[in-house]
Copies of this chain bind each other. A is one copy, B any other.
Amino acid sequence: MKVGILGGGQLGRMLALAGYPLGFRFRFLDPAADAPAGHLAELVVAPYDDPAGLERFAAGLDVATYEFENVPAAAAAYLTDHVVVFPPRRALEVGQDRLAEKECFRSLGIPTSPFRAVDDLEGLRRAVEELGLPAVLKTRRLGYDGKGQYVLREPADIDRAWEAIGGVPLLLEGFVAFDRELSILAVRGRDGATAFYPLVENRHEEGILRLTTAPAPGLDPALQRAAETLAGRVLAEFDYVGVLAIELFQRGDELLANELAPRVHNSGHWTIEGAETSQFENHLRAICGLPLGATAPRGHVAMINLIGTIPDAAAVLAIPGAHLHLYGKAPRPRRKVGHVTVLADDPETLRRRVEAVIALL
C-alpha cells in the first residue's frame, strides 16, 4: 500500500512513523525541501498547485490524504480525479472556511457561539451591534495558531480590527463565557464504523495550543456521550473517512462547537503513547480500509507542545513517564518544534510530572 500525504510537516511525519509498521510506503508533497517528513520518506518538493509536482506525487499511489486543511482547490481537484483521496473533499472545503464550519454545525443542530459573516466595514459595524462586545473578528480562511484573529473589546476596536485583518471575507464571533476548551477526535472507517477518543482539555497561549490533558479532568460520561453524538453527526454528514477533530467550548454541561479539522490534530498527539491506538495509526487504518483500533486511554496523559525552543533531551527523558517527540525542525519563535507526552497512573502524579516538564521550557 503506497500512501501519499499532502504536506510534509510533523503531522505527516507522525503519520508515516505510525504507518511503516503496517507495511505501508509513503510519498509526501511539500514546497519545502527540508520538510520534516522528508527525513523518513520520499518527498516531492513542489508548490501544492504545481501540476507537474502533483502528477509526480500522485503517480502510483493507492490512496492519498493530507495533513492540513488549506489544500488549494486546484490540488484537491487534481487529486480526486487521479487517486482515491480521504477524507472527502467536502469536509476539506468546509474545514477551510470558518463560516462554512459554523453553518455546518448549525445545520446539524450543534450549538456554536453566535456569529455573523462580515464582508465590509459596514457589515462589521452591524455585526458588532447585533452580537455586542467583546467579540472576535476572524478571517474565514487560512487562520491557524491564533493568526488572522482580532479581539474587539470596545467600539474603537472596530476600525482597528478592520485595518488589521479586513479586506478578505471575515466572521465575527460573539463572546462566549465558556468554562474550558475541549476537543474530541473521531475516526470513521471506509465501512462506516466509528470510534471516538475521550474528550481532552486544551490550554492555549497566544492562540497556540500549549497543553492537552487526556481524558479532560473530571470528565462527565454524559458530556463524553454528547460529544460523541455531535461528532458522529459531522462524520455522517460528510460520509467521512479518517480522523476528524472538533474543537469545543464547555459551558456548564453544554458543548459549543468552535472549529473542525478534517485531519489528525495537535490535541491528539497524546494518543501515540497514551492510547491503545494512536490517532495517526487510526487515520491510516481508516483511509486504507482496515478495521479501526481501540481508542481507550492508558491512564492519565498530558501533551505539552514545544514551541520555539527545544529543551535538553536528557532532562526531559529523566522525568518518569515522559516521552519526547522532536520534529526535526529548526527552532524559531512561535514554531512548534516538538512535544512531550507524559503518562501517569493518577492525576496528581501527572500534574507533578507536567510541572517538571514545563520547568524545563
Contacts and interface: CB of A to CB of B under 8 A. Distances in A.
Interface of A: 13, 16-17, 20-23, 25, 39-41, 272, 276, 285, 289-291, 293-294, 298, 310, 313-314, 317-318, 320-321, 323-328, 338, 343
Given A25-B328, A285-B317, A290-B314, 11 more contacts: A13-B20, A17-B21, A21-B272, A21-B323, A21-B324, A23-B328, A276-B321, A290-B313, A291-B318, A293-B317, A298-B298
List 5 A-B pairs, minimum CB-CB distance, nearest first: A23-B326, A21-B325, A291-B318, A40-B40, A291-B317
Contacts of A327: 23
Identical copies of this chain, number: 2
A189 to B, nearest CB: 10
A198 to B, nearest CB: 18
Nearest to A294: B320
Given A17-B21, A21-B17, A39-B20, A314 B291 contact: yes
A342 to B, nearest CB: 12
Nearest to A310: B23
Contacts of A290: 313-314, 317
Given A285-B317, A298-B298, A317-B285, A22 B293 contact: no
21 contacts: A17-B20, A20-B39, A21-B272, A21-B326, A22-B313, A22-B324, A23-B310, A23-B327, A23-B338, A25-B39, A39-B41, A276-B321, A289-B314, A290-B313, A290-B317, A291-B314, A291-B317, A293-B317, A294-B320, A294-B321, A298-B298
Nearest to A299: B298
Nearest to A326: B23
Contacts of A16: 40
Given A16-B40, A294-B320, A23 B313 contact: yes
A313 B22 CA distance: 8
